Structure 1
Amino acid sequence: MKKVIVLLSGGMDSATLLWLCKREFDEVYAISFDYGQRHKVELRYAKELALLAQVKEHIIVEVPHYRLIKSSALLEGGPQVPPGEYREQVPPTYVPMRNLVFLAIASSFAEELRAEHIAIGVHALDTPYPDCRPEFISAMESAITAGSSYTAKTKKRIFIYAPFLGMTKSQIAKLGIE
């Protein structure tokens, strides 16, 4: 039985990812994070999406240490996003090591549930974010597998399923409509 844990923010990318995983996996779990983000409404959307998709279980994990970080425009108390383009540099909405933390937490649940996949909705336009790049995803997959008691016992891997890595936002939106 193929099990997956979906990182579910409640935004368009993760909503599309959730439905894609419902199609491709036998058992779908969802995990969301309350980390002091400005867009709290997405957590409500995540709950509604998880109910609608009838996931096996949806958990919301508090990650309180991000409330102490004030450098990200994505966090409460952080700066506003200044106008401009950020294709060539790390944008002001970067939350330090957010995907590393989220994937690490999700991997502990993957080990507990014997799920061999963790799904994340990073995509091509996220490349200015260091923790959304293909090399980061690959390194995290290796680290999670190397550090897991489950994989040590079973000689299996825990894969990071990131199907949108080569896609643009508009391609993800089209997939979501399908």
Structure 2
Amino acid sequence: MGNAIVLVSGGMDSATLLWLAKREFSKVYAISFDYGQKHKVELQFAKELVKEAEVNKHFIVEVPHLKGIEGSALTDKSIEVPSEEYPEGPPITTVPMRNLNFLAIAASFADVYQIENIGIGIHSVDSPYPDCRAEFASSAEAAINASSVMVAKKKNRIKVWTPFLGMTKTEVLKIGLELGVPYEKTYSCYRGTVPPCGECATCRQREEAFRSLGLEDPIKSRR
């Protein structure tokens, strides 16, 4: 069945990916990032999720250079996270090259631990973000394989595993419900408030996904 390292933010998409990885791979690792995000509270949820998932190891990595990025509502304290749906173009919450940085770091761990799959939970609703698109994933995979020590030695390939590409958040949620993902232990608010603000784009996406299935978001029970 192989092995995988999964990017786990603490949100519902990465939690679903983690539980799917547990089904699809014999050995699963998780990696989370502290990059100066306003919603750093998500890391506490990530720790709780990974503990319940019983993965082989959970890496939490600081990405200090992203903390100084200006112009993104996720890292720049002078910019407020807006109350809105995602626009057609890149949102103000875009952190330039965030997923490229994350995949490159995850690939370093993949090289050391001989991991052949790197999971990232991007899907169609995330498409306004440039680094959440299919062309990004395939390009990142090519760069990772071109620079991997493990690949050079073993003549294999590292796959950037993106099973949710082309899916809606509701479709991802359906998969997670079938897998028994503990969504009450996930967190999706970009403002970092407890309880979640319910107004930012990620909060609205999450609420719409549960509502579309006639369900109430279980995180409300934690309030």
Match of 1:71 in 2: 71
Bigger radius of gyration: 2
Q: Which amino acid aligns with 1:9?
A: S
Specify the alignment match of 1:29 in structure 2. Answer: 29
SS in 2 for 1:86: coil
Tell me the equivalent position of 1:98: 98
The Cα of 1:83 is off from its aligned counterpart by: 4.5
Aligned AA for 1:139? S
- Asked whether the 8 Å contact 2:17–2:120 carries over to 1, the reply is yes
1:132-143 aligned within 5 A: 132-143=132-143
Flag structure 1 segments of 5+ consecutive residues without an equivalent: none
- CA deviations on 1:45-104 (whole Å, 9 max, x unpaired) are 110111101000001000011111121112251511345443421001100100000000
Which residue in 2 is equivalent to 1:39? 39
Q: Say which SS state the counterpart of residue 69 (structure 1) adopts.
A: coil
Q: Distance in 1 between matches of 2:10 and 2:85?
A: 25
Contact 2:68 2:75 in 1 (8 A): no
Tell me: CA distance 1:98–1:78, structure 2 relative to 1, closer, same or farther (3 Å).
farther
Larger CA deviation: 168-177 vs 46-55: 168-177
Aligned to 1:158: 158
Q: RMSD between aligned alpha carbons?
A: 1.2
- Tell me the equivalent position of 1:176: 176
Q: Structure 1 pair 78/14, CA: closer, same or farther in 2 (3 Å)? A: farther
**Secondary structure of 2:49's match?**
helix
2:111 partner letter: E
Identity %: 61
Residue matched to 1:88: 88
TM-score (norm: length of structure 1): 0.96
Uncovered stretches (5+) of structure 2, i.e. residues with no partner: 179-223
**TM value normalised by structure 2:** 0.77
How far apart are 1:166 and its partner, in Å? 1.0
Measure, in 1, the Cα distance between the counterparts of 2:66 and 2:78: 11
- Cα distance between partner residues in 2 of 1:26 and 1:152: 24
Partner SS for 1:171: helix
Counterpart in the other structure of 1:117? 117
Contact 1:72–1:78, Cα closer than 8 Å, also in 2: no
Q: Which residue of 1 aligns with 2:57?
A: 57
Q: Give the corresponding residue for 2:184.
A: none
Separation (CA, whole Å) in 2 of partners of 1:78 and 1:99: 23
Query: Contact 2:69 / 2:76 at 8 angstroms: preserved in 1?
Result: no
**Residue identity in the other structure for 1:131:** D
Shift of 1:38: 1.1
Larger mean CA deviation between 100-109 and 71-80 belongs to 71-80
Q: Cα deviations across residues 92-139 of structure 1 (Å, max 9, x unaligned)?
A: 110010000000000000011111000000110111111111001000
SS at structure 1 position matched to 2:28? strand
1:145 aligns with 2:114: no
